[in-house]
A and B are shown apart, each in its own frame.
Chain A
Amino acid sequence: MGDRIAEGKVAASDADLILAVLDRDDREAFAELVRRHQSKIRTVLRRLTGGDTAFADDLAQDTFVLAWRNLKSFRFEARFSTWLYRIAFNAWQSEARKRRELLLESMDEAPAADAAMFVELPDIASRIDLERAIATLSDGERAAIAACYYADLTHEEAAKALGMPVGTVKTHVLRAKAKLRARLNAKETPR
């Protein structure tokens, strides 16, 4: 009987599960939503926090608790995952400001990548190298990469989630990718 209920939850859509939470305070339904989305949310937050897994998981927990508290305000027009990302980005922005007093809009003053950096990427680049390279980006660039690649949002969705103009998101992505190429190439190219 319990197994059948659990199977039903697994088969249910996000919208069905949300309605179950709203109508019946159904915690099993919410647990299934957490199971479905935890990996993506935690990955995005790990990239945003520069690989600080403990901090990222704290923020992910806050994200889901906030989602639970504010589920009534969820409009079924957008994907639930997009809504969750927005909460996660807000949680990260607010904590980042608190921790380091850094504003998302501030651009990294590191030298911009030049044409010489645009050489062929190595075929085998480890995830650890990529994670470290992402950690060196500015907050804005990291957020744009996390939104557009890890959260798989469009530029427009990313702009909404991050509270910045679409043009800024595009600029951040371009600059971030140039820097990532440079970092990964430097790692591979023997001196």
Chain B
Amino acid sequence: MSDKLDFLLRDDARVALDDAGFGARVMRALPPRRAKAHAWLKPALLLGSTVLGSFLAALFLPAGSAVIQGYIDLAQHRGMTPAAVAALAMAGALLISAIVLAADTE
């Protein structure tokens, strides 16, 4: 008799329900499509603001400071002076931070 109840339950479970508009209803209830056209905007803004921030920081730094001197050394091909290494390290750190932030926000 246990088999009969099992059969009855499994038979009932096998009955397929007609979609009857259910699928369309679900699709209408989904959140709106992501705006793909603007997917690049956030990373671009982050990277852009990093570059702009670095440029402004360099512009307003007091003349003769180590970072400015480092960029001057690099521009004049004076080799890897301590100031040039510091300037490169700072620029690298800023760039990496921006890339990580940009990747996170995607």
A68 partner residues in chain B, CB cutoff 8 A: 30-31
Instruction: With both chains docked as a complex, state the minimum distance between the C-beta of B33 and any C-beta of chain A, in angstroms.
Output: 6
Are B26 and A149 neighbours in the complex by a CB distance under 8 Å? Answer: no
For chains A and B in complex, what number of residue pairs have CB atoms within 8 angstroms? Answer: 80
B22 partner residues in chain A, CB cutoff 8 A: 34, 38, 42, 57, 60-61
Task: State A125–B23 Cα separation when bound (angstroms).
Answer: 31
Known: A57-B22, A64-B26, A120-B1. A125 touches B8 (CB 8 A): yes
CB-based nearest A residue for B34: A25
Partner of B2, one of A131, A152, A177, A184: A177
Partner of B5, one of A30, A42, A123, A181: A181
State how many residues of chain A have any CB contact under 8 Å with chain B: 34
B6 partner residues in chain A, CB cutoff 8 A: 149
Task: State A127–B15 Cα separation when bound (angstroms).
Answer: 10
Are A34 and B27 neighbours in the complex by a CB distance under 8 Å? Answer: yes
B interface: dominant SS: helix
Task: State A30–B31 Cα separation when bound (angstroms).
Answer: 13
A35 partner residues in chain B, CB cutoff 8 A: 19, 23
A interface: dominant SS: helix
Known: A43-B15, A125-B8, A149-B9. A118 touches B33 (CB 8 A): no
- Cβ-based interface call for A137 (8 A): no
Q: Which 9 A-B pairs have the closest CB atoms?
A: A121-B4, A149-B9, A39-B17, A150-B13, A64-B26, A39-B16, A34-B23, A34-B26, A42-B17
Q: Give residues in B with beta carbon < 8 Å to A.
A: 1-2, 4-6, 8-10, 12-13, 15-17, 19, 22-23, 25-27, 29-31, 33-34, 36
Q: Give residues in A with beta carbon < 8 Å to B.
A: 25, 27, 30-31, 34-35, 38-39, 42-43, 57, 60-61, 64-65, 68-69, 118-121, 123, 125, 127, 130-131, 145, 149-150, 152, 177, 180-181, 184
